[in-house]
Amino acid sequence: MRELVLISGASTGMGAAAARELAGRGYHVLAGVRRESDGDAIRADNLEPVLLDITDSGQIDAVAERIAGDPAGRPLRAVINNAGIAINAPVEVLSMEEWRRQFDVNFFGHVAVTKAVLPFLHASGGRVVNMSSIGGRIAMPTYGAYAGAKFAMEAMSDSLRRELAPHGVQVVVVEPGGVRTEMTGHGVERAEEVLVAMDPANRARYGGLLRAIINQANAFTTSGLPAEKAALVIAEAATARRPRKRYTIGRDAALLVRLSRLASDRVLDRVLAANLRPHFPVEAR
């Protein structure tokens, strides 16, 4: 158990819960945070905060140097690529700057971290755990940028798994559904800002839809799984002797994954529309 685990996006939510769970199991967790104050809040036995903005190559290099120079000579058991942001907006409305930002954080940053730590995983026979989403299987309206990055994460994970399997490094994907995390709340705040900033024409087209998405996200916040339950699945994905290739978190994620495999696009469109309809403002239904 004297091994290292690196996890990004560990300030709050599933990342923080997974860091605590793994530290409690005896791993020495390098918990990536973006601010010193966030690190002070989660520091504990076996839980060492490290500054890790995954879009900052200098911080990625510094974390790689920390692993290479570990004073106890501990190997890296796993990297858990968890950091992420969510900004809900229709494709027509979301700015190109925000499109690029979501891909930088939700995809390209994880590729950069993975490339930086793969030499350590080759040496240890370790594991890459990529946090995807049910949005990596099904793209709901206003989730174009977020789901696009998650679809890319799924594809990269498949390719990477097949590349690394002959060399003893495993790649596992985790697909959460509704989980109560701060990211959901931040996403709602950003969606509210998008709604306010819409011009009249776009508000007429998409205002009711975006309001429904916000209401649905708020419902997830109250009914979703607690982050601590999700952390048990993440820890299993990172440490199981014979892990599955993919794990889902929550009954909603498991159901939607099955539905995506079996239903036609026409049927899936109808199911998603029916699921969203109760969240529309009355005047927009």
Active-site residue flag, 143: no
Q: How far is CA 179 from the centre of its chain?
A: 11
Ordered DSSP codes for 173-238? EEEE-SEE-HHHHHHHHHHHHHHHH--HHHHHHHHHHHHHHHHHHHHHHHHSEEHHHHHHHHHHHH
Query: What amino acid occupies position 96?
Result: M
Tell me which of 27, 146, 206, 247 is the catalytic residue.
Answer: 146
d(CA 215, CA 28): 39
* Residue 47: how many other CB atoms lie within 10 Å: 21
Beta bridge partners of 194: none
C-alpha distances (whole Å) from 228 to each of 54, 77, 137, 146 are: 24, 21, 24, 23
Query: Helix, strand, or coil here: 7?
Result: strand
C-alpha distances (whole Å) from 90 to each of 100, 200, 207 are: 15, 14, 10
- The residues carrying an active-site annotation are 146
